[in-house]
């Protein structure tokens, strides 16, 4: 128990500069038991029957043993005596106000914004201490260059929905550079039926400067993400739940880029909610080579004149 308290204290020390991202592909309950796999992660507020705030995001994720030679890996925290996976991904996220059809700026609502990033990451697991460290470096762009308008308009045209016309008021182009470190510790596990982990995530950069801490629990026919690969193969079906609290320092999707202050409309600093809560839950099915997930998320309002938001997602992966 004393050791677990120490881990919890460590998490709260991290809280000053961390943030839970929208698409979290590195948390333990999303573990894929292979050194080589591909996964497609897609999220959309359509799954929650809404069309505002976080409107959609996707992540194309590739893990390969050969990526151990990626020179970016030298930037990452990689403790000794760990089992390590190396990966690359492309991630895109988009946000809209409630009235996305109007061409006028929606004062008091969030601005249109989108960002695209290339992510290099590692997942390092200490098998003895049941600790999982994740590190990533993101390089990309926020603004029209991230083609958020083209993507949303194309989807709405294909599905016969109302066409968004307010993207001319979106956050202007600026660079995205961010570094992230995550920590996860397994506190309890009972056979292959239930497990409990505490989590924290550090994230600093030009897109987000935020802090989060929480826990996750899984129950069902569960996996062994803190064990060696050869001992964790087979059919798995389980649900998960993950509540988290975030302390917000900066959000470029609301406040605009750090270097470019020419955006036509942004949310002022004093209108940002500095403390938010988020709840993620879902169902995961895994076989020896395939991965399927359905997820749902809810988050409290992110700025004082805004509203709480809900969205969902699907994830499909395979090993090779």
Question: How many Å apart are CA 139 and CA 116, to the nearest integer?
Answer: 8
Question: What's the CA gap between 304 and 278, in Å, rounded?
Answer: 16
pLDDT tens per residue across span 57-76: 999 999 999 999 999 999 99
The structure tokens listed for 272 are 């940002």
Is the predicted pLDDT of residue 232 greater than 60, yes or no? Answer: no
Domain residue ranges of the chain, discontinuous segments joined by +: 2-319
Q: Between residues 262 and 227, which one has the greater pLDDT?
A: 262
pLDDT of residue 53: 87
Q: 179 CB contacts (<8 Å, ≥6 apart)?
A: 75, 135, 136, 137, 138, 203, 204, 205
- The tens digit of pLDDT for each residue in 99-129 reads 999 999 999 999 999 999 999 999 999 999 9
Q: What is the pLDDT of residues 273-305, one digit of tens each?
A: 999 999 999 999 999 899 999 999 999 999 999
Give ∠ CA 23-18-139 in degrees, rounded to 5: 60
pLDDT tops 90 at residue 7:
no
Q: Which residue has the higher pLDDT, 5 or 254?
A: 254
Confidence of residue 80 (pLDDT cuts 50, 70, 90): confident
Q: What is the CATH number of domain 2-319?
A: 2.40.128.140
| 247 backbone φψ class: left, alpha, beta (φ>0; ψ -120 to 50) | beta
SS3 8: helix
pLDDT score of 14: 38
pLDDT value for 67 = 97
Quick one: pLDDT at residue 124? Answer: 94
Q: Please give the structure tokens belonging to residue 271.
A: 């209108």
Residue 10: pLDDT band with limits 50, 70, 90: very low
| Average pLDDT over all residues of the chain | 90
Are the C-beta atoms of residues 22 and 43 closer than 8 Å to each other?
A: yes
Task: For residue 43, give the 3-state DSSP assignment.
Answer: strand
């Amino acid at each position: 128990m004393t050791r677990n308290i120490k881990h919890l204290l460590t998490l709260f020390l991290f809280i000053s500069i961390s943030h839970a991202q929208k698409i979290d592909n590195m948390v333990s309950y999303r573990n894929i038991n292979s050194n080589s796999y591909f996964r497609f992660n897609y999220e959309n507020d359509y799954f929650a029957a809404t069309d505002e705030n976080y409107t959609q995001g996707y992540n194309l994720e590739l893990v390969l043993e050969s990526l151990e030679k990626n020179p970016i890996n030298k930037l990452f925290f990689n403790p000794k005596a760990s089992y390590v996976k190396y990966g690359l991904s492309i991630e895109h996220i988009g946000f809209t106000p409630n009235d996305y059809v109007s061409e006028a700026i929606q004062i008091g609502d969030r601005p249109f914004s989108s960002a695209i990033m290339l992510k290099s990451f590692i997942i390092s697991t200490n098998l003895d201490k049941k600790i999982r460290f994740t590190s990533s470096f993101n390089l990309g762009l926020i603004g029209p260059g991230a083609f958020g308008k083209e993507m949303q308009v194309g989807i709405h045209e294909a599905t016969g929905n109302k066409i968004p016309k307010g993207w001319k008021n979106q956050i202007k182009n600026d660079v995205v550079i961010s570094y992230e470190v995550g920590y996860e510790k397994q506190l309890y596990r009972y056979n292959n039926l239930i497990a409990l982990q505490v989590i924290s995530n550090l994230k600093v950069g030009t897109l987000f400067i935020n802090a989060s801490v929480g826990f996750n629990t899984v129950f069902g026919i569960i996996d062994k993400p803190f064990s060696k690969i050869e001992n964790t193969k087979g059919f798995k079906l389980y649900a998960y739940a993950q509540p988290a609290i975030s302390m917000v320092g900066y959000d470029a999707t609301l406040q605009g880029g750090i270097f470019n202050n020419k955006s036509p409309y942004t949310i002022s600093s004093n209108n940002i909610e500095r403390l938010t809560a988020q709840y993620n839950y879902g169902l995961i099915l895994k076989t020896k080579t395939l991965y399927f997930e359905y997820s749902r998320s809810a988050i409290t309002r992110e700025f004082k004149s805004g509203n709480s938001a809900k969205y969902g997602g699907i994830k499909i992966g395979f090993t090779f």
